[in-house]
Structure formats: C-alpha cells, structure tokens
Amino acid sequence: MMAMHLDELLEQVARHFKVDAQALTLTLLAKKFRHDHV
C-alpha cells in the first residue's frame, strides 16, 4: 500500500540529496578556506 504518490516520494528524495550536496559543498569550501588562510 503506497501512502504517497511516487512523484511526491521522488521529489522528497531529490530535495534531500540536493540539501546534502549543498551542505557537503559548503563543508568542503569551509575546509579549503580555513586551510588556505591558516
């Protein structure tokens, strides 16, 4: 029994991965910035 439509599920998954990607990018940029300016 699917409580959600597949499109909604895919949208949530896509949003989740997009947020993770942004967080990962920001983390890497922060590390690079800190490394360059020590």
Q: What is the pLDDT of residues 5-35, one digit of tens each?
A: 889 999 999 999 999 999 999 999 999 988 7
What is the token pair recorded at 7?
């499109």
CA distances from 15 to 5, 22, 27, 29, 37 (A): 16, 11, 18, 21, 33
Full-prediction pTM beyond 0.75? no
pLDDT at 36: 78
Two tokens, residue 20 = 């993770």
Residue 6 is predicted with a pLDDT of: 87
| DSSP alpha helix (H) spans, the chain | 6-36
- The answer, yes or no, to whether residue 38 has pLDDT greater than 80, is no
Q: How many C-alpha atoms does 16 have within 13 Å on its Cβ side?
A: 6
Euclidean distance between CA atoms 27 and 33, whole angstroms: 10
